[in-house]
C-alpha cells in the first residue's frame, strides 16, 4: 500500500497540475487502482515520478523532499499520447498479451518500460506513439 507521504505528494502534484479528475482516474486505472491508496509503494513512486515529469514539462514549479525547487519550464502541455491513442495501444496490447486480464495494464507498462523506456502509458510522448503502435501491430501479425 502507498504511504501517507506518497498519497499527499500525489494529491499535491495533481492539484498543482490542475489535472482533471477523469484524467487522474484514467492514470490510476493504468496501474490497476481506483484510488491513490490502492497503489503499491513501488507503483506510487512511479506515479509520483510521472507527475513530476508532467509538472516539469507543463511549466509547473514544485518542491519535493527529494528535489529542492525544480524550475518551471515552458513547454507544450499536449506532448503526451491522447486518450484515443492510449485506447488504441491498449486494444492492440489486448490482442497480443497472454497475461490474465487483471494484470494487463501492469504488463503493458512493463512492456513500454523495457522497449521504450516509458514507465507508464499516460507518459508516452506523442512522437513515440507511432513506434509503439507499429511494434504492437507487428507482434499481432497485422
The average pLDDT across 80-99 equals 87
Instruction: Spell 66-94 as b/e; 16+ CB within 10 A means b.
Output: eeeeeeeeeeeeeebbeeebbebbbebbe
Q: Which residue has the higher pLDDT, 92 or 119?
A: 92
Task: Compute the distance between CA of residue 101 and CA of residue 109 in angstroms, rounded to an integer.
Answer: 14
Q: What is the pLDDT of residue 72?
A: 31
Q: What is the pLDDT of residue 69?
A: 30
Q: Which residue has the higher pLDDT, 56 or 33?
A: 33
484515443: which residue's cell? 84
60, pLDDT greater than 80:
no
**Domain regions of the chain by residue span:** 1-78, 83-140
Q: What is the pLDDT of residue 57?
A: 62
Helix (H, G, I), strand (E, B) or coil at 58: coil
pTM: 0.50
The average pLDDT across 120-131 equals 88
Amino acid at each position: 500500500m502507498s504511504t501517507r507521504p506518497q498519497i499527499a505528494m500525489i494529491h499535491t502534484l495533481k492539484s498543482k497540475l490542475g489535472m482533471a479528475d477523469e484524467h487522474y482516474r484514467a492514470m490510476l486505472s493504468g496501474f490497476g487502482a481506483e484510488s491513490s491508496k490502492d497503489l503499491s509503494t513501488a507503483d506510487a513512486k512511479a506515479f509520483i515520478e510521472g507527475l513530476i515529469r508532467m509538472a516539469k514539462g507543463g511549466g509547473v514549479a514544485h518542491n519535493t523532499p527529494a528535489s529542492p525547487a525544480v524550475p518551471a519550464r515552458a513547454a507544450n502541455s499536449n506532448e503526451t499520447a491522447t486518450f484515443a491513442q492510449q485506447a488504441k495501444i491498449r486494444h492492440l496490447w489486448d490482442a497480443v498479451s497472454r497475461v490474465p486480464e487483471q494484470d494487463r495494464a501492469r504488463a503493458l507498462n512493463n512492456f513500454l518500460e523495457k522497449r521504450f523506456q516509458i514507465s507508464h502509458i499516460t507518459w508516452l510522448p506523442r512522437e513515440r506513439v507511432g513506434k509503439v503502435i507499429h511494434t504492437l501491430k507487428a507482434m499481432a501479425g497485422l
